[in-house]
Structure 1
Amino acid sequence: MATRPALLSAAVVLTAAAAVFAIPSTALAAVEDDGADCPVAATSTINNSQLPDPFTRIDGSRITTRDDWRCRRAEIREMAERHVYGQKPAKPATVTGTVSTSNITVNVADQGRSASFSASVQLPTTGTAPYPAVVVVGGFGADTDTIRNSGAAVISYDPLQLGREGTARNNKQGAFYTLYGATSGTGILMAWAWGVSRIIDVVEQSGGNILRADALGVTGCSRYGKGAFAIGAFDQRIALTMPIESGSGGVPILRGIPGESGAQPLSSAYSEQPWLGDAFSSFTGNPNSLPVDTHELVGLVAPRGLFIMENPHIDWLAARSGSVAALGGAEVYKALGAGDNISYWSDVSDGTHCAVRGEWRTPLQQNIQKYLLKTGNAAGTFRISGSKAGNLSQWRTWQTPALGGGTSSPAPSSPAPSSPSPTPSTGACTATITPGTVWGDRYNTSVTVTGSTNWTVVIDITAPQKVSTTWSGTFTWSGGGNTMTVKPNGSGNTFGFTTMTNGNTSARPRVVSCG
């Protein structure tokens, strides 16, 4: 049983960890990894086509309190490093640098080796110093105008300084590999994440006259969206993580990609560039053997702000698998009492890769206000494209626990999911409703039909509630849009939908008939 290299003494880490759950769920940890002192047992490959249970420890026991999440999170983080990304070294022996109104410099040294890199700064168009800031990875796809006009600075980060593309796996190049060796098994996504952590170190040391270390976000698109996701997952000082169109090797569940038509194969994502760790090579043909998946990496960001943006118009980007990862990770948010802190949006009209989209402007502003400026309280939102809607119920056998104990933020005010409840049939079949993820303004519902393969299910929705998204069925509407008739569409005997509460948070769908 190994213990992660400690960033601080155990006493300090434990104190910080307790503080995470004693303050509002929008808060972030004071350290890069608050579970650095947690022992993590060895892991082995598995054989499970379903998503692993984020609430079950490596030893098979299940967590029961919110305080338990700290060391369970450490297990997930370590498994992701061992099998997917490669190890992220702790803060080096020496980190120095400068912060100005136009530039950040970083100098690192460890075990007789040293390296340097920098990032440019653009101050916001409004507000006063010290400013919150968003690290923009790679320089394209991010709506930097909206970021700056919302009151946050932009830190333009060239990740190729840390880990270059176009290099062989046994000869990786960049500042990270100058310190840790060209044959390091750590992929360049993690090298990029390590570099942003060192930028945060320098901002912390700068005195806070220009930039606020407690109000930093990260975003990036495409390969840089993969990087933004890793950066937010592996540094708990990031208050807001916003990956855009990250594709294979980013947000989408690894188990889902082989079955998603047109999605970039895992072998391609592994070989195109050394993004992922060397150890991932043994999983490209069989992700079902991984003891971890990306819904759990979404959970690593919890309870901090997370806004996932995806493009359903390009099959290569695996948006359906991305929606499943978001829905699965949202269960961790909900269990921690932070269900309003995650947003997902793939319902967009412009299919251009890495376009700046009008649909994302308002939620981007709201996320910056809530997590960086600390002036907003907008609830997270899920807007899943009907063309790329995943169904979490098809990917899990576990249920989300009601975590007790600890002193974390209050549990969501909206009703929690209940157990499946069969509805008496009025015909040749039975329709069983299972409520799923619940948020303040919407909830998911899954319906399973038994007794027939040529069924018709009629469901009533209580006005003013309205269904916003459907999947795995053929839907028609009547009764002013509050009665829907569902027939099979070849996807099996389970279908689902998302209902907007529109002010009525207590009503739930009712099966009228199944025949």
Structure 2
Amino acid sequence: MITSSGRSTIRSTVVVLATAALAVAGTVTVVARTTTAEAAGSVLAASSVEDEGADCPVPSGSSTSTSRLPDPFRKIDGTRITSKADWRCRRAETRELAERTIYGQKPAKPATVTGTVSSSSITVNVSDQGRSSSFSASVQLPSGSGPFPAVVVLGSLGADTSTIRSAGVAIINYDPFAVGREGTPRNNKQGAFYSVYGSSSSTGLLMAWAWGVSRIIDVIEQSGGNILRADAMGVTGCSRYGKGAFVTGVFDQRIALTMPIESGSGGVGAFRAIASESGAQPLSSAYSEQPWLGDAFSSYTGNPNGLPVDTHQMVGMVAPRGLFIMDNPHVDWLGARSGSVAALGGAEVYKALGAGDNITYWSDVQDGTHCATRSEWRTPLQQHLQKFLLKTGNAAGTFRISSRKAGNLAEWRDWQTPTLTDGPTNPPTTPPTSGPTNPPTNPPTTPPTTAPTTPPPAGGGCSASVSVNQWTGGFVATVRVTAGSSPVNGWTVAMSLPSGVSVTNAWNANRSGNSGAVQFTNVSYNGSIPAGQSTEFGFQGTGTGTGLSPTCAGR
């Protein structure tokens, strides 16, 4: 049983007052402020507040144990959201359930936050509930004149800092142990967070580390923006710091770009999937190694199916902001297959919000060294910095899943992604809903091409359209199946593949044949399509995928 009486009184009060103050100034934007890049067609929605949904009431409710990933679009009361505007409060429900069962509570902004920002350091002083603490971080500026975007690097171990600085982005080296120290028992936690909220706080280290980054952003906001820009912040970390970077981006909507690396159990990897992934660090080990996760998670280390949420929903909580997940398929302990499952599940939230181009998952790497600086990630790192922090680029996100650790979302969900009715109106091409087991060896070099979309049939039946991401020697095709004026209760899509084209993998559909005349039929959960609605499946092929012309027959 999961119950809740609503958001924390302190958090709600702070956000309501902040919202009221913004309303007086005439600048409230419920979802996000508009940027130049967004006006150009991208959905780049970092917020001006830490938690947009803090004023949302979260009702009491219960969760049913399930081995499948929970439906991220289903509210606690059992109904599903139908509009993009509904996501704000659905996200708030997800947040509170995650705090209560996985991470522990992240308190609202302390009563007093002060500090300084210089070209070499940031100091942070906090005071709340009659207690105070302080910590600091070092700063490395790039060449040129500021103010600069900045990436917080947890533990000086994250994405390639030379690439970040050469792009014109500052580095903030943050020691998370100053805020939440490892090597301490759960009933005597130490660090700046626990000096304020008590050494016996049930909040785990990952959330304490995230709280510390949020306070750094508070100080940057107060500094006047002459050196660093609070509206262009990123966060990264690898291994345990990758766990912390992920949680930081999930729980502070001011962070425009989140970049966790090889975060393993307690990080991006879906808890339900980790429990069945051979060689992955067990949940009990991740819980007991350090007090990373909240104390309440002890009830779920042997029963992840009882969790009301899973990490695919944490991925979804980052949406529509930038998310670049980097994983290592060569070390079983890191659970990269479970990471791909969570990323694929969370990508469905991005897709529903019209922000599918804002998420990247990349585990197709050659070097198996833990936390290595990899050449495969250099270009996408530069592209993400340009797009989300510098606002000078618009590269699409991509999924490059290693065949060594490829997850299959179809095995983990029994829900479909809804078509939400409002919000961003320019959804870009989205990643496939299940990972190719044979990922491309080279990233796409040409933009996706889309066959002309045929209107739904006037009567019953269905229509099909296809979009293709092509690269040298291969492609991924995404096929949209749309019902006519009557519901469809099962469908078959047929297409003739050009000479030299062969299907190597398919997801969200069964297939008959790999070359020539190929047929795809629905799987158990996507055969029923309401009138006028759509579902999607995909496949990967060798050769050139241009000129595909699918036809659809419904039942």
Instruction: Give the TM bin, normalised by the shorter chain.
Output: 0.7 to 0.9
8 Å CA contact 1:444, 1:499 repeated in 2: no
Alignment correspondent of 1:213: 230
The residue aligned with 2:171 is 154
Residue 73 (structure 2) aligns with: 55
Which string of whole-angstrom CA distances, capped at 9 and with x for unpartnered residues, describes residues 183-215 of structure 1?
000000000000000000000000000000011
CA contact (8 A) 1:342 1:381 kept: yes
For residue 151 of structure 2, give the secondary structure of its aligned residue in structure 1: strand
Q: How far is the alpha carbon of 1:112 from its aligned partner?
A: 1.3
TM-score relative to the length of structure 1 = 0.84
Q: Does 1:305 align with 2:332?
A: no
- The Cα shift of 1:46 comes to 2.4
The answer as to 2:52 corresponding to 1:34 is: yes
Q: Are the equivalent residues in 1 in contact too, given 2:280–2:332 (CA < 8 A)? A: yes
Contact 1:135 1:156 in 2 (8 A): yes
Report if aligned partners of 1:83, 1:279 keep a CA contact under 8 Å in 2: yes
* 1:3 matches 2:20: no
Contact 2:30 2:52 in 1 (8 A): no
- Report the TM-score, using the length of structure 2 for normalisation: 0.78
Corresponding residue SS for 2:84: coil
Q: Greater shift after overlay, 129-138 or 16-25?
A: 16-25
Aligned to 2:443: none
The aligned runs of 1:242-261 (5 Å cut-off) are 242-261=259-278
SS of residue paired to 2:235: strand
Rounded Cα–Cα distance in structure 2 between residues aligned with 1:510 and 1:405:
28
SS of the aligned residue for 1:260 comes to coil
User: How many Å separate the matches in 1 of 2:185 and 2:406?
Assistant: 36
Whether the aligned pair in 2 keeps the contact of 1:327 and 1:437 (CA below 8 Å) is no
User: Structure 1, unaligned stretches of length 5 or more?
Assistant: 418-434, 447-457, 487-494
What is the CA-CA distance between 1:47 and the residue it aligns to?
Answer: 1.2
The one of 339, 362, 373 aligned to 2:379: 362
User: What's 2:348 paired with?
Assistant: 331
**1:166 is matched with which residue?**
183
Question: Quick check: 1:189–1:276 contact (8 Å CA) kept in 2?
Answer: yes
**What is the rounded CA distance, in whole Å, between the counterparts of 2:240 and 2:465 in structure 1?**
31
Shift of 1:130: 0.3
Q: 1:507 to 1:223 in 2, by over 3 A?
A: farther
Write the letter of the residue equivalent to 2:245.
A
**Matches of 1:368 and 1:122, distance apart in 2:** 16
**Secondary structure of the corresponding residue to residue 306 of structure 1:** strand
Match in the other structure for 1:411 = 427
Q: Distance in 2 between matches of 1:39 and 1:123?
A: 42
CA distance in 2, matches of 1:313, 1:154: 29
The aligned counterpart of 1:430 is none
SS at match of 1:348: coil
1:414 and 1:179, CA in 2 relative to 1: closer, same or farther beyond 3 A?
Answer: closer
Q: Secondary structure at the match of 1:18?
A: coil
Match of 1:79 among 76, 97, 112: 97
Q: Deviations over 1:123-182 (max 9, x none)?
A: 114x42000010001112431111111110110000000000000000000000000000
1:224 corresponds to:
241
Q: 1:412: how far off?
A: 3.0
Structure 1 residue 405: Cα displacement: 2.5
- Aligned-partner SS, 2:229: strand
Within a 5 Å distance, the mapping from 1:101-250 to structure 2 comes to 101-125=119-143, 127-250=144-267
Cα distance between partner residues in 1 of 2:541 and 2:118:
48
In 2, the alpha carbon distance for the partners of 1:128 and 1:27 equals: 25
Letter in 2 for 1:120: S
Cα 1:501–1:149 shift into 2, 3 Å: farther
Using the TM superposition, give the Cα deviation of residue 236 of structure 1 relative to its aligned residue in structure 2, in angstroms: 0.2
Kindly state the Cα deviation for residue 20 of structure 1 after the two structures are TM-superposed: 1.8
1:259-408 equivalences under 5 Å are: 259-406=276-423, 408=424
SS in 2 for 1:95: strand
- Report deviation, 1:17: 4.8
User: Which AA in structure 2 matches 1:387?
Assistant: R
Question: How many residues in Structure 1 have an aligned counterpart in Structure 2?
Answer: 475
- 1:178 alignment partner AA: S
3-state SS in 1 of match to 2:260? strand
- Asked if 1 retains the 8 angstrom alpha-carbon contact of 2:356 and 2:431, the reply is no
1:16: Cα distance to partner? 3.9
Please name the residue that 2:444 is paired with.
none
CA distance in 2, matches of 1:436, 1:147: 39
Query: Structure 1 counterpart of 2:30, which letter?
Result: A
Query: Alignment RMSD, CA only?
Result: 3.6
Q: Name the amino acid aligned to 2:353.
A: L
